[in-house]
Structure 1
């Protein structure tokens, strides 16, 4: 039987399968079925096949998992077919733990015929250029879909869309429904709509990581997301539209409207200013109201920025108050108060740069004139106010209160 299975696996490979493919499959142990020949004798008892015992002893399921899984395969009368499936999976390179996970997820996988279902599917996937290890990972994502013929057409569509099998696999781990959703009625209409909005394949792939169910959501729901993104002031085709979709996805129109009202009230913005801010940085809609309140109060009351100025630079609203906005303000104030930099030096230019650049521009040049500046800045950034801090006044006290 093992010889026949091995022969069928070889015959099932398509003519386009290269010698390197065959060598790769052999290297990964695909045809090393003989080491599992002893499994055929497992869980046999006087003509009766004990399914639960087999699942525990051969597939390494826990007793609870075996009890649950056995309900789906109670009709099996012998271990011959499950043995062949286990050997096939092991030949792909799946570990005992991997096989246990696959069987627990989809017990009926053990009922599949290796020569008529699994081996042909393997050959088709190899024909698409997938390596044995990639095929093994696909099996782990969704054993059920792996053995169905439709998986081939799905992969032929998704791999070019996502740019690579690895990127697709990442999306599949978050949403295996990509392999079961209707391409023609659901997925393709959603992709077409997103393309109409100016999103390319790369943009769509990036969206599917934080929004794994985007392509498998009903087209009507996706149209609503597009409309909501436009309603908050982000136009189709802009580079921010992808971020706008991410910001409004799966949030009701009422909640989005309430958030816009909150922004206008808290930051003293007009409707136009709120839309300007959101169009420049849609993710601000997902910031918590508590953070927005604290940051806006600091920027307006302590730093002295005008609300309209903030509207055109909304990134400041997303920075950490305690670790970025406050410490850098303290440094700039000290340098300005001591005449070490121009009094009109932009606060925004100081907070938008990376930590490395900030230290290089605002800390390092003053090691001689302000020897404790670096130490005090590090302390304030970690939530501490050093005893001999050069950062005096209400700002230091404010930082202490915020980090208490």
Structure 2
């Protein structure tokens, strides 16, 4: 009931579907192997309901082109079905940016598909620039795992990767709003 209430609040049109159509979506989610008691089950149904069969096939093909196997795609759907609502262009762009660092590989992305949902411009580029700079100056030993880097709030990223080095090197700077977590961290060149 809690999940239905959340969907009613955030996506009310979803619940206006005819019962026979809704049953087809439930069957599709069942075929993907998602447990009906999972908190993601209703989100899986909502994602299926938001796209045509042709669009679903395009998403499936895009994930295959990114390097996901059929099992990986099904696991990604069970873990975070909302990633299938991300555009094909963004999926490809995020993969390219993460792999370009040389610190993350395809298995990192496959094991944490939520990483494909974050903004390249607002989240990844600023953070990756900071990490590259810190590494080039031997200020960090290793990069955070992708599962840590992605969901970390801006304020926490600042506290962990910027604040400790402010006194040591004047190249790291932030805007005041980064302290409140409203903006990303910027690096002076």
TM-score (norm 1): 0.42
Q: Are residue 337 (structure 1) and residue 102 (structure 2) matched?
A: no
Where does the alignment leave 5 or more consecutive residues of structure 2 unmatched? Answer: none
Give the equivalent residue in structure 1 for 2:156.
Answer: 357
Give the equivalent residue in structure 2 for 1:107.
Answer: none
Is contact 2:171-2:187 (8 Å) kept? Answer: no
Displacement of 1:346 in angstroms is 2.6
Is contact 1:281-1:314 (8 Å) kept? Answer: yes
> The residue matched to 1:244 in structure 2 has which SS?
helix
Q: Deviations over 1:169-208 (max 9, x none)?
A: xxxxxxxxxxxxxxxxxxxxxxxxxxxxxxxx12111112
Give the equivalent residue in structure 2 for 1:115.
Answer: none
Change (3 A) 1:368 1:306: same
How many residue pairs get aligned? The number is 183
Give the equivalent residue in structure 2 for 1:229.
Answer: 29
Structure 1: how far apart are the matches of 2:82 and 2:14?
A: 17
Change (3 A) 1:211 1:221: farther
> The residue matched to 2:9 in structure 1 has which SS?
coil
Displacement of 1:241 in angstroms is 0.8
Q: Deviations over 1:218-253 (max 9, x none)?
A: 210110111222334423211211221221124223
Displacement of 1:215 in angstroms is 3.8
Give the equivalent residue in structure 2 for 1:285.
Answer: 84
Change (3 A) 1:215 1:321: closer
Q: Are residue 309 (structure 1) and residue 108 (structure 2) matched?
A: yes
Q: Deviations over 1:85-131 (max 9, x none)?
A: xxxxxxxxxxxxxxxxxxxxxxxxxxxxxxxxxxxxxxxxxxxxxxx
Relative contact order (alpha carbons < 8 A, sep ≥ 6): 1 or 2 greater?
A: 2
Match of residue 48, structure 2, among 243, 248, 254:
248
Query: Which structure is larger by alpha-carbon Rg, 1 or 2?
Result: 1
Displacement of 1:304 in angstroms is 4.1
Give the equivalent residue in structure 2 for 1:328.
Answer: 127
Q: Are residue 211 (structure 1) and residue 11 (structure 2) matched?
A: yes
Give the equivalent residue in structure 1 for 2:72.
Answer: 273
Structure 2: how far apart are the matches of 1:296 and 1:365?
A: 30
CA RMSD between the two structures: 2.4
Displacement of 1:354 in angstroms is 0.4
